[in-house]
Structure 1
Amino acid sequence: MGKKDRFPSLAIRTGGSIVTSAKKYINRDLSWLEFNRRVLEEAEDPETPLLERFQFLSIVQSNLDEFMSVRVAGLQAQSKAGYTKTDFTGYTPQGLITRLVKKTARMVREQYRTYRELLRLLAKEGVSLTTFAELNVEQQTALTTYFKEIIYPVLTPMAVDQSRPFPLLHSKELYLAVVLKQEDDSSDDDEDKTFCAIVQVPSILARTVIVPGRKNSRKLSYLLLEDLIKEHIGLLFSGYKTEAVHAFRITRNSDLTPNEEGAEDLLQEIEKELRRRRRGLPVRLEVEKGIHQDALELLQDELEMEHEGFDEIEGPLDLGFLSKFVGGLPNYEHLRYPKHEPVYPEEFDEAEDMLSVLREKDVLVYHPYESFEVVDDFILEAAADPNVLAIKMTLYRVSVNSVLIQGLARAAESGKQVTVVVEIKARFDEARNIAWARQLEKAGCHVVFGLVGLKTHAKITLVVRKEADTLRRYVHVGTGNYNENTARLYTDAGLFTSHPDIGADATALFNEMTGYSTPHLWSAFAVAPVGLKPKLFELIDREIGHALAGRPASIIAKMNSLSNQSMIDKLYEASQAGVKIQLIVRGVCCLRPGVPGLSDNIRVISIVDRYLEHARILAIGGGGEQEVYISSADWMTRNLSRRVELMCPVYDPALRHMLMNLLEMNLRDNVKARELSSTGSYEKVKNEEAPLRSQFLAGDIPLWKSIGATVR
């Protein structure tokens, strides 16, 4: 049977019916909304600690903001440009926008129903969000004083009239639309004349203001900052009476489109784009329910917002404030997840130095169960070692007070050759990465901004050390960013090794990123944008061959997203050949599993839990010893063809065994796992097995304590 016969390109027949090309796939953006719904379900789950439910609700908001400012913004641009071609899932831009708007509106309503329910539960615990009218005289007086002394000096009323044009409104900031009338206007002609002004709610101040406590009460009450401003808004407009004041918020197109090839200085080009982002076209207008019609018409006219971009919200706008609000509540540890401090990897804990350990064996670490300090120490030890000649590293997203940055700077200042490939196009971290780049250059590091047209997303560090009469290379390869903060919240794998093949490939990779170098014949790595996808296809084709020959064949892959059409088609081909495929895809999945004759042998689950599942791991091989790889890349078009990505083999059998155990535990999760059906919906996994929560086994025992034991 030929490949064409096994997998027709446009349609296949299943049980007498035709599965068309469009129906073979789930739309990427609709799949993303399903992911955000799974996050919302964690906020709705009564088994989730109460304050953590608020945190998940905040994540739903921030996720939706980014989705609107990037994905929906791109669709709107296509629609306005008259683009009507359908994507491979069968949607035109406008058709997809219409569907997304309806589904988003339903999600937002559910989000705010959950918010109101959580407030009721929080009030039972002695914490409430109140209104100014509910306070007693002493409390009102105290908050009025706070307003006059702290808030009032920061506010800037912006009138909108013929002499004062409509102001530039910043994306995702909270504003108040104020409708006014003159107090002494007795003219019949101007009786109904209104004036409009805009006041920004200062983001530099906390969104919630604590209310002075009542006598003999241990309860905590808070007032929203915008509500306190509304109550005193008249102080900003003397001679006018306030007809109405309502909150609103806009989200702008935040995607950058730098002209990399035409730019003389990429750093300056990105900075120019950041300034342009402030004036990006409005994508979404959120207004408080009941907003005055004059204010609404003004906003819609000035912002040129279509009806599809308008949302009326019953509740406070931007629930992202909930994260800081509940995070700052004192003495409520019983309403949070139990604390789990990351442990230092035992392989390095007793060693005098890390490099001596790596001369003997490879070491695998898994965050956040194991501390990210081990990565910091790897750099700090290399910086202090007089025999280390060079350090090379990629940086995509870095934390604010990064120890790594300090270590790299220290190494350069001591005379070592330090090369840092900084990705200044990392979305929403551009400004921070530009600042890091300048700081590193000032310290003497050689800073490179990657390759034109490609983002550098690979996570790799190379340390070159002189030992006796030779040089030895030590490498760290990771699935996640070099970021101390996210390493406490995301699950990621990291491999430390001195394997000569990996070291040689690491050297070649940095040479390609920083200089002129012909494509390397990789010994260990598979590197995008040229070699990763062919390597994956080669591995899958090998399993197809095993299956067609009647031998065992299997693929287990863990990633954040799967949306590349040709990769999905290759997995369909493998399924039809009889390869058993199990996918752990946290977010977007455009593959439709369980379709008879197409994807019978494919199972897809998603795990949403306390930590963000972020590791990319591939275990492949049913006909013999399984090969295991870790990678920086998801199976998306951008990762496979528009980024510098890296997939690295794990050679040590014990470490491969450890990663296989981890994947098996994910696949057996029946507490937080949800399985994707052929309809595109997700349902919680339910079976007769004993409850198994892969992030926390045996109650609250963290995963890292159990990954050494074989899971059957």
Structure 2
Amino acid sequence: MQHSSIDLQNPSYYQNRELSWLDFNARVLAEAADPTNPLLEKLKFISISSSNLDEFFKVRVAGLQDQLKLGFLEPDSKKQWGPEKQLEEIAKKNRKLVSDQYLSFDQLKVELEEKKVDFKLPAELAPDQLEEAAEIFRNHIKPAITPFGVDAYRPFPHLNDGVIHLFVRLKTQEGPFIAILPVPPLIERYHVLECEDRRVILFTEDILFYFLDELFIGYDLDYSFTFRITRNADLEIQESGAEDLLSVIEDYLEKRKAGMVVRLEIDARSISATFKEDVAYLMDELDILERDVYNVEGPLDLTVLSSIASNLQNVLPDAVFPRFTPDYPSILKNNNIVKTAEKQDFFLHHPFDSFKPVIDLVRNAVEDPNTIAIKQTLYRVSSASPFIEALKRAAKRDIQVTVLVELKARFDEANNVHWAKELEEAGAHIIYGMKNLKTHSKATLIVKKDHNGFKRYAHLGTGNYNEQTAKFYTDMGIITTNPILTQDVADFFNYLSGYSNQADYQYLHVSPFEMRDTFIDRIDNEIELHKHYGNGHIVAKMNSLTDKKMIMKLFEASQAGVKVDLIIRGICCLIPGIEGVSEHIRVHSIVGRFLEHSRVYFFNNNGDHKLYLSSADMMTRNMTKRIELAFPILDEKWKQHVINIMKLYLYDNTKAWVLGPDATYIKRTPEGKKAISSQNRLMHYF
């Protein structure tokens, strides 16, 4: 029954996007306290939460601060909060998150001490260890340090994003002086001392702090503290009128180095009577407010813990996840991937299934004299990508190679500029993306001659063509020779490479806009079928749900009685369980060992299941500002296989969190039932 009297625009039915993201990062951090995770893996989860937070400030907080400074006070579409209110709420929630990060680190340090690993300050070292630290300072740190005095002749220095600095207060008979010391990011961030059967970890900035007086001859050291800034990386790329997007991106990367400061972090373990005065001085120089300052009780930049965990795993082999080798599908072990694809569609679920068949498909095409063309979209690739090497070799063999390298892939711009140049030099035809749109689609098309003329092979996926991230991101994809679907893929690449409107695709659904329209039509259809048969069911798995039009349509489905199960790793702006609005909607979130990255959309359709995989989340940017693909699973065997995977995610009672009507997440527990971890099951399943 439609609840026509209920206003679905009511802000109380929605969660703010930024606060929901902070909730997601809290779930990442919660993995550091999960007793089922090995000790060193817990350290890595703290590192991941810290890295996530850096990017959040560089992009999301920076964007809100820009809006505020430019006087753009329009509220967000869901909570109706302006930028000032959002920044206040972010600061409030994030202070607790940061505090929890350091609390988790302190707890893990106790566990590490039991494993004979100690984090120490130089002042806590035994005499022989202190002498070793002094040698490290004089030989490996001091030669790389350049102090910058601040006075009438030496202006306040430029501070680089993410670099740890020391603020130093000095004094002589002439009065007080201030100096800033950046810790060069190219030197080691930490050092390990081995003493008998124990290991002591020292942070470089702590060693520098202890021996500072050796750098300021003739001056008395009053005190010092370490600090770190985060700069705005959300600068606008001016595409209009650009004749060469490559040069525009290179200019953009230079400008980003001088972006506005959006956060100041301070290690507050060492403070003096003038600490507040010195922080105020930094705030003034950096043009930031008090809410942008975070005082922490510990070392800055906890992303370093991932490196430390990797360093320790040889001495603590039982403190990491058991080794997991992705399965190379048995059907391919004695069969050529190309011959197999010619007979049937093939489904892959990474990292549980090996990513190698996707690489093999392209490599086979390069070596096959019948190959005419290879076309591929590249968004993020590894530093030694087998795809890049294969495509370069193909171009040199006179195969027509067309590659869309998305230069606007955030934080991969420099990497992608490099690969675009290399591919172009090898003879490939390079497309840099499309004006004002990011191409986020994951597609490969291979065209070969055969006895009937030509045959097409396609790979479509939910994740990047990156064999490294495929080891720890869950993603799905298909390899197909279906003539209708591969014709759609061919039309899609022609749309990208030439002047052509979107084709009238038979199976593909392409954003901007068309994908959203498809999903809305499918939800409307599910509502109508439910009225007649009472079996309406929608299951959607994605990274984030923010698009208000999609949320309102899901509300309508719930109001009509359709059962809606959402598996959302990250941001969810929909609040479930609200009577008359979303009482038939359940929201699950799974973090776990692998980063859940696949996007799956299921509609019961009165038993005639419709199932789509996609490169897109239900986010406004994916629906309206990106070129994305959604593609159906046509093979009934693979369709049921994916449905079974989705059921397993919904049964998870070990790693899953459930979102309640109060907008808070509660961790699911077995409660006496058999424990089910979907990711663990999938490592040994199907």
TM-score (norm 1): 0.93
RMSD of the TM alignment (CA)? 1.4
Structure-2 change in CA distance of 1:128 and 1:523 (3 Å): same
- Secondary structure at the counterpart of residue 123 of structure 2: helix
Aligned counterparts of 1:531 and 1:339: Cα–Cα separation in 2:
42
- Worse-superposed segment, 204-213 or 400-409: 204-213
- 1:358-373 to 2 correspondences below 5 Å: 358-373=341-356
- Secondary structure at the counterpart of residue 319 of structure 1: coil
Q: What amino acid does structure 2 have at the position aligned with 1:56?
A: F
Aligned counterparts of 1:347 and 1:655: Cα–Cα separation in 2:
14
Q: What is residue 321 of structure 1 aligned with on the other side?
A: 304
Does 1:174 find its partner at 2:164? Answer: yes
Shift of 1:230: 1.1
Structure-2 change in CA distance of 1:62 and 1:540 (3 Å): same
Of all paired residues, the percent bearing the same amino acid is 41
Aligned counterparts of 1:89 and 1:104: Cα–Cα separation in 2:
18
Does 1:74 find its partner at 2:63? Answer: yes
Query: Could you tell me whether the CA contact under 8 Å between 1:178 and 1:295 is conserved in 2?
Result: no
Q: What amino acid does structure 1 have at the position aligned with 2:315?
A: N
Q: What is residue 201 of structure 1 aligned with on the other side?
A: 183
Query: Could you tell me whether the CA contact under 8 Å between 1:347 and 1:363 is conserved in 2?
Result: no
Does 1:149 find its partner at 2:131? Answer: no
Q: Which runs of 5+ in 2 are unaligned?
A: none
Shift of 1:250: 0.5
- Secondary structure at the counterpart of residue 376 of structure 1: helix
Q: What amino acid does structure 2 have at the position aligned with 1:130?
A: K
Query: Could you tell me whether the CA contact under 8 Å between 2:363 and 2:390 is conserved in 1?
Result: yes
Task: Give CA-to-partner distance per residue, 1:556-580, whole Å, 9 cap, x none.
Answer: 1100000000000011111111111
Query: Could you tell me whether the CA contact under 8 Å between 2:525 and 2:605 is conserved in 1?
Result: no
Query: Could you tell me whether the CA contact under 8 Å between 1:463 and 1:475 is conserved in 2?
Result: yes
Shift of 1:404: 0.8
2:36 to 47, 50, 60: 47
Structure-2 change in CA distance of 1:600 and 1:297 (3 Å): closer
Does 1:543 find its partner at 2:526? Answer: yes
- Secondary structure at the counterpart of residue 303 of structure 2: helix
Q: What is residue 710 of structure 1 aligned with on the other side?
A: none
Task: Give CA-to-partner distance per residue, 1:297-356, whole Å, 9 cap, x none.
Answer: 3311210111111111110011110000111112212111111111212222211x2111
Q: What is residue 133 of structure 1 aligned with on the other side?
A: 123
- 1:633-644 to 2 correspondences below 5 Å: 633-644=616-627
Aligned counterparts of 1:482 and 1:544: Cα–Cα separation in 2:
37
Q: What is residue 397 of structure 2 aligned with on the other side?
A: 414
Aligned counterparts of 2:9 and 2:506: Cα–Cα separation in 1:
40
Aligned counterparts of 1:146 and 1:72: Cα–Cα separation in 2:
38
Aligned counterparts of 1:194 and 1:478: Cα–Cα separation in 2:
61
Q: What is residue 410 of structure 2 aligned with on the other side?
A: 427
Q: What is residue 45 of structure 2 aligned with on the other side?
A: 56
Does 1:695 find its partner at 2:679? Answer: yes
Does 1:590 find its partner at 2:569? Answer: no
- 1:605-616 to 2 correspondences below 5 Å: 605-616=588-599
Shift of 1:81: 2.0
Q: What is residue 293 of structure 2 aligned with on the other side?
A: 310
Q: What amino acid does structure 2 have at the position aligned with 1:548?
A: K
Query: Could you tell me whether the CA contact under 8 Å between 2:149 and 2:180 is conserved in 1?
Result: yes
Does 1:241 find its partner at 2:224? Answer: no
- 1:444-463 to 2 correspondences below 5 Å: 444-463=427-446
Aligned counterparts of 1:561 and 1:212: Cα–Cα separation in 2:
45
Does 1:357 find its partner at 2:340? Answer: yes
Shift of 1:229: 0.9
2:241 to 262, 279, 282: 262
Aligned counterparts of 2:331 and 2:581: Cα–Cα separation in 1:
45
Q: In the comparison of the two structures, how many residue pairs are matched?
A: 679
Shift of 1:688: 5.0
- Secondary structure at the counterpart of residue 194 of structure 1: strand
Query: Could you tell me whether the CA contact under 8 Å between 2:3 and 2:580 is conserved in 1?
Result: no
- Secondary structure at the counterpart of residue 59 of structure 1: helix
Shift of 1:369: 1.3
Aligned counterparts of 2:437 and 2:377: Cα–Cα separation in 1:
14
Shift of 1:551: 3.8
Q: What amino acid does structure 2 have at the position aligned with 1:66?
A: E
Does 1:277 find its partner at 2:259? Answer: no
Does 1:439 find its partner at 2:422? Answer: yes
Does 1:115 find its partner at 2:96? Answer: no
Q: What amino acid does structure 1 have at the position aligned with 2:492?
A: L
Aligned counterparts of 1:354 and 1:482: Cα–Cα separation in 2:
17
Query: Could you tell me whether the CA contact under 8 Å between 2:529 and 2:536 is conserved in 1?
Result: yes
Q: What is residue 334 of structure 1 aligned with on the other side?
A: 318
Q: What is residue 21 of structure 2 aligned with on the other side?
A: 32
Q: What amino acid does structure 2 have at the position aligned with 1:114?
A: S
Task: Give CA-to-partner distance per residue, 1:238-268, whole Å, 9 cap, x none.
Answer: 1111111110000111113111122221111
- Secondary structure at the counterpart of residue 204 of structure 1: coil
Q: What amino acid does structure 2 have at the position aligned with 1:356?
A: K
Aligned counterparts of 1:61 and 1:570: Cα–Cα separation in 2:
35
Aligned counterparts of 1:435 and 1:148: Cα–Cα separation in 2:
37
Aligned counterparts of 1:406 and 1:20: Cα–Cα separation in 2:
51
